[in-house]
Amino acid sequence: MARSDHEAEGQRDLGADAAVVEAGRPRRPTRSRRKAGEAAGADNNVDILDCAAQCFMEMGFQGTSIDDVARRLGATKGRIYHYYASKTDLFFDVHREGMRRLNEAVNAAMDNGGNGRETLRAMLEAHALTMLQNIAYLAVVVQGVHMHRLGATTLAQRQVLDEIMAIRRDFEKLFADVFRRGQADGSIRAGNASIAVKGMLGAVNWTAVWYRPRANETLADKQKIARELATLQVEGVA
């Protein structure tokens, strides 16, 4: 498909009536062809999400077509359209799955029994490691934020992107609340928690821009990178 065709498809998709995007919840059946009760990442469509995430990371939203995803998947477009009514629907489900994985990892890290600073470091490390292990998904999450900042072109697009930003604000609030807890217990110095957390998450989220896994990279290698990223952020507020 020529690039102009990609762009035309992108505009059609962005103008479509998009689904409510909520981390960890199934999409409304009237907005998607995915069967009722099926969440993003279900066993029968996770390979579609995996391939779509790779395509969106490599070519961007406008540069990716359903044909591209189908070719990477080694399937027909019909299989994708069985679950997703449009490219936009698919894009935001990839975004939704990326946020679900982040929320799952960070919430688990919050139960470490440490003080505010120790918990914050554990959360940042979990966030960073999840990004390193799911870089294509989280690159799509970053793309979604840029789409929001650049401005939406249709009411439907604005609604979906606003919902995504609400999910991100709730995610950010987890860190801000723990930051304030650390200030209360004396493990984190005084300062504006909201600004500090935005800076920390910005540094970790930038991983989606510069990081690409090496062929021989191990889980231990990723854990080391994540630990260093988290430690550098927390040392600045201790």
Give residue limits of the domains in the chain.
3-235
Q: What is the DSSP letter of 41?
A: T
Contact assessment for residue 229 and residue 219, using Cβ atoms and an 8 Å cutoff: no
Helices and strands, number each (H, E), in the chain: 11, 0
pLDDT at 26 over 50: no
Copy the structure tokens of residue 151: 């401005």
Residue 97's pLDDT is 92
The helix/strand/coil state of 214 is: coil
Query: For the segment 122-159, what is each residue's pLDDT rounded down to a tens digit?
Result: 999 999 999 999 999 988 888 877 766 666 567 777 77
Residue 19's pLDDT is 34
- Say how many residues make up the chain: 238
- Cα–Cα dist 39/17, whole Å: 19
Q: How confident is the model at residue 34 (pLDDT cuts 50, 70, 90)?
A: very low
Q: Which of 61, 60, 55 is nearest to 157 (CA)?
A: 61
Selected residue with higher pLDDT from 89 and 29: 89
236 phi and psi angles, rounded to 5 deg = -75, -15
Q: What is the mean pLDDT of the chain?
A: 81
Copy the structure tokens of residue 88: 């936009």
pLDDT at 4 over 60: no
Query: For the segment 182-204, what is each residue's pLDDT rounded down to a tens digit?
Result: 999 999 999 999 999 999 999 99
Q: Which CATH superfamily is domain 3-235 in?
A: Tetracycline Repressor, domain 2 (1.10.357.10)
- Cα–Cα dist 169/178, whole Å: 14
Copy the structure tokens of residue 56: 């969106």
The residue with tokens 């629907």 is 89
User: Which residues lie closer than 8 Å to 232 by C-beta, 6 or more apart?
Assistant: 203
The residue with tokens 């027909």 is 76
pTM metric for this prediction: 0.77
Q: What is the DSSP letter of 29?
A: G
Contact assessment for residue 203 and residue 131, using Cβ atoms and an 8 Å cutoff: no
Lowest-pLDDT range, 35-39, 86-90, 116-120? 35-39
pLDDT at 28 over 70: no
